[in-house]
Amino acid sequence: MTDANRLQHLRRIADLLRDRDLSRLSAAGSAKSKTEDLLAALDQTRSTADLNLAIAGQVSDRFGTWTANRRSQLNQQLARETVVWMAAQTAARLSFGRSEVLGKIVKKR
């Protein structure tokens, strides 16, 4: 195998790794966005105006407790997803750079 063939082969591998890493970045970003949407939805409460005042208070208290617990769970999930997204960003940058550099080297030959 000649050096030119090896470079072409290496460039194809780098392109595949770039595509894989960009796909992983996209998936991580989507998961993170979904969790952010779920957190934002917790702030939208339903009106209890049509309920008895005592029942409305109980509903409000229980809903507040539930949303606090849910918000805590979602914030933990969002933190984990953010770490995955940041790692995917770094990997995508590296593989994109490698692919670009190899592409330029192949074109010069």
Q: How far is CA 78 from CA 5, 9, 39, 40, in A?
A: 45, 39, 9, 12
For the full predicted model, state whether its pTM sits above 0.85. Answer: no
State which residues form the domain around 43.
Answer: 3-108
Total structural domains within the chain: 1
The rounded distance, in Å, linking the Cα atoms of 22 and 91 is 8
- The domain that holds 26 is classified in CATH as 1.10.287
The per-residue pLDDT for 46 is: 66
8-25 pLDDT per residue, tens: 999 999 999 999 999 999
